[in-house]
Structure 1
């Protein structure tokens, strides 16, 4: 049909013709592109109840194509199409409701619309529904339900679904723990260039989880993920290059990758750079750089960096000596369950260094360090019990009963050692 014939039908109120004419103007297929005409005819078809037109008009309002951008109108038209069973509209309405675009956020209704689209086989909706079912901020998590929909998305070849299902098999949450299945699914996602999966393949090969340990394979996968901007992969690639695992030792390359990760705000990379410059065994020793990197990680709440920064303030290396500031950083780390910081804080209380001497407080922090298995904390606690007064010991024990020791970190990543 010619453009004139489509126009004639559209002017007679034929909604299919109106939508087709809108698409002709929108794409420029057979005539010059004209956003305003595309929007005009799409609106006519949408008002006539054409679900594809309603969905497309929603997209137009969402991005401001041929009309002024208006999320509220976008959501309104998505809803009109969704009510008629349009799968993509159901998905986009779910997205709007989940994130509060053009409407009040409503997690339950969002999940309901995702489910409708998922049952029609729409992969993005299946993945989003699984994510919502796994979350705990709006209802009790349904891990088995999440796994079901991740599987549906994975079976359509979606890398994000494959990776999420791999994660569940790796952790044993929602699926039976199966490291081999986890590795298989992760590889499928990684082969599609999905950066999180590429990084995880590096982890699996580095640790020998579900695959034979192979540092060279780990380096290869970390390199792929690092090149795609995966900050965790950048860190581990730097560590493997630093230690010559799976590749020739390359100090400069290692530092470059660690700095790339650190500049993106990864505290463990910042911490390790601080340790590199403080120790000076692989790079020229530079306490000022050590302080700078420790401070970045410490400001982000890393307790190891806080303890290391405090130690440098205490000794005056790379920064002006400042005992009270050292105590402040020791306390931050100690309250997060860092045993070395607890020991260091206890010693400052015992000596009155940077803070008023307080033997019961020293006893308390020695006790905290000892409870976390720190041998020096245990030794100092035993010494304190021999030399402290009975009253001070009683006060210290009361503190331990009233304020149980902060728990230690659940996981500790160390690559260069720490004090």
Structure 2
């Protein structure tokens, strides 16, 4: 690690003070001290020389006379656990104007390591080091301003220093700046800049940038959609150790997205992601065990994997744990536990859980019976577009008790589900058009929806359509 002597260039001072920055005493004092900084040999102080005389004797004996050698000696002291002595050596070199020791001193003050945590000192030394082009200092200074650690949050200042570090080739800064432009929360969204910055970082094997490039190509976000290129980036990020990318590679193999379908390879990648505690991998393994895809069907193992993801509040896994308890799959049937897990899933906006819990409240006797609650849950899920709830709400209005039964509302909800390509709902709509129930009789619409249901392999519709076609061919009406 080469030391760089400080060259103070006042023209490169911060772009501008944001509104309110003058009210931040930490920043004001650090910038004032920066402007007044002068190179000096701090070890000329008698008290310090006396304290470190034994170490200077070692330096003279080992002929560590140049500043570079003393820096590496300080690093050795630090690694050996003699952090206080290392700090004094670093501090001297920092006072002499060297950028890397300035970075280390800033880090120690920021982390409260060896010395008491002091953000004013941290900002001061990071600023000195950053203005001399030290990339690590520029990156850490950007983080301080971005997250408001010890100073007022200042996104403009943070972006300035991220940009400096990115320009100087730091992959972390390139990724962070790309992400800022990608999400567009503190600056105007700019997908082109985001992609270019991700690409820069990815060329240096930055695994998060490589993963985000995969997402961009998968979704067509800022680039032309290309599933094969997305897979290639996911694969590279996974090989670099990115757990979520490992799961994406598994998902690609499972569904044949950007690569040939291969359930065995999908399973292998899900296992690798699981070993890195990737929650989605637990869900996907549960799915494979549940359906016997690439592995032997095993409801117990499926439930075990769903349970891990459910405890991490994955909504789909919460639902499946409830479903397994309701149906007694991989465990004994337990409605109380099913209700518990469905309610937890609902708290994470699972419409499937709303539908199933409504069914329990409607069909079960005893403590669980609550038809009013069932209707409320079906209504809530149906309004969010959940097709099974729309069908069930239609059935409730079609066959419900007095005060609930409403054929017009039944038709409306069946129609919403039918428009989402649900075969049974399409058949119901066809029947209601044929009979004039809940809507006006319309034989043209009857034929249309009957055909739609048949195309979705709904057997009753297939049978009725065959009978209708046969009747028509014989000249009937």
The TM-score normalised by the length of structure 2 is 0.70
Structure 1, 157-166 or 257-266: larger mean CA deviation: 157-166
2:411/2:439 contact within 8 Å kept: no
| Counterpart position of 1:242 | 290
Q: How does 1:128-167 map to 2 (within 5 A)?
A: 128-167=176-215
State the distance in 1 between where 2:251 and 2:58 align. 58
| Counterpart position of 2:164 | 116
Q: How does 1:102-251 map to 2 (within 5 A)?
A: 102-251=150-299
Q: Provide, for residues 38-86 of structure 1, a one-character-per-residue CA deviation record: whole Å limited to 9, x for no partner.
A: 4455445445543223321221122211112234542343233222221
Structure 1, 227-236 or 106-115: larger mean CA deviation: 106-115
> Of the candidates 340, 355, 364, which is equivalent to residue 307 of structure 1?
355
1:43/1:57 contact within 8 Å kept: yes
Q: Provide, for residues 125-158 of structure 1, a one-character-per-residue CA deviation record: whole Å limited to 9, x for no partner.
A: 1111111111122233221211111111111122
State the distance in 2 between where 1:318 and 1:121 align. 68
| Counterpart position of 2:337 | 289
What's the RMSD between the two structures over aligned residues?
3.4
> Of the candidates 50, 55, 77, which is equivalent to residue 3 of structure 1?
55
> 3-state DSSP class of the match of 2:224?
coil
Aligned-pair CA distance for 1:22: 5.4
Aligned-pair CA distance for 1:214: 0.4
Structure 1, 247-256 or 374-383: larger mean CA deviation: 374-383
State the distance in 1 between where 2:366 and 2:343 align. 12
Unaligned runs of 5+ in 2: 1-53, 61-65, 441-477
| Counterpart position of 2:455 | none
Structure 1, 17-26 or 99-108: larger mean CA deviation: 17-26
1:33 and 2:85 matched: no
> 3-state DSSP class of the match of 1:249?
coil
Q: How does 1:272-287 map to 2 (within 5 A)?
A: 272-280=320-328, 283-287=331-335
1:330 and 2:382 matched: no
Unaligned runs of 5+ in 1: 9-13, 391-419
Aligned-pair CA distance for 1:234: 0.7
> 3-state DSSP class of the match of 1:314?
helix
Aligned-pair CA distance for 1:26: 3.2
Aligned-pair CA distance for 1:312: 1.0
Q: How does 1:365-380 map to 2 (within 5 A)?
A: 365=413, 368-369=416-417, 371-374=419-422, 379=428
Structure number with greater Rg is 2
Q: Provide, for residues 88-118 of structure 1, a one-character-per-residue CA deviation record: whole Å limited to 9, x for no partner.
A: 1111111222222222223333222111111
The TM-score normalised by the length of structure 1 is 0.79
State the distance in 2 between where 1:198 and 1:355 align. 54
| Counterpart position of 2:472 | none
State the distance in 1 between where 2:166 and 2:365 align. 60
| Counterpart position of 1:98 | 146
Structure 1, 113-122 or 310-319: larger mean CA deviation: 310-319
Summarize the Cα distance change of 1:318–1:63 in structure 2 as closer, same or farther, 3 Å threshold.
farther
Alignment: residue pair count = 381
